[in-house]
Amino acid sequence: MKKETAIKGKLIVFSAPSGSGKTTIVRHLLGIQDLNLEFSISATSRAKRGTEEHGKDYYFLSAEEFKSKIKNDEFLEWEEVYRDNFYGTLKTEVERIWAKGKNVIFDIDVSGGLRIKRKYPDETLAVFVKPPSVDELKIRLKKRKTESEDKINMRVAKASAELATAPLFDTIVVNDTLEHALEEAHEKISTFIKS
């Protein structure tokens, strides 16, 4: 018999195409005391980049360790993005945050976000952050100056498919102006946590 994670707090999922502003919104919400949020650190089998730290930015695992944890049903959700390049949410991470009496906030891809919502439909608020348009998204990605034109085009193509999933989420926050998006996200999460 599988041991299921005991529900203690709420799960707040933020998903969006790259460049929509979800990470900025999540960081803002983490600073609001009354929401009682803690960030869920994802596990990955990819190599560390720059100054990334294990247990702070990600839980860095080898592909073998990741596969072993999949086999042992240790993930709430996981995905193989490229061959042997895995990302996922460890059940122990959610349990760690709930043990502190906090609500869990996720900044994860669309498919991972929807898997969490399917697993815990009543405890999860799945928020899709939508850019005003695909053209605006491309402008934002170019302004970052962190990726090649090819990579940006790849992200924009992926964004079109991700935007089609928006209606599957509980709510959509359109990030046309950041200030408005931050207010709307705060209001929606505050209402959900109190429900």
42 known ligand binder: no
20 annotated to a ligand binding site: yes
19 marked ligand binding residue: yes
- Phi and psi, residue 115, nearest 5°: -65, -40
d(CA 108, CA 175): 17
Residue with tokens 């596969």: 67
Could you tell me how many helices (H) and strands (E) the chain has, helices first? 7, 9
> What contacts 108, CB < 8 A, 6 or more positions away?
13, 14, 15, 40, 42, 77, 87, 89, 116
21 is in an annotated binding site: yes
Alpha carbon distance 150, 133 (integer Å): 19
148 annotated to bind ligand: no
Element (H, E) at 102: none
Q: Say how many C-beta atoms besides its own lie within 10 A of residue 67's C-beta.
A: 16
- Which helix (H) or strand (E) segment holds residue 108: the answer is none
Q: Is 167 annotated as a binding residue?
A: no
What residue numbers does the annotated binding site cover?
16-23
What residue numbers does the annotated binding site for ATP cover?
16-23
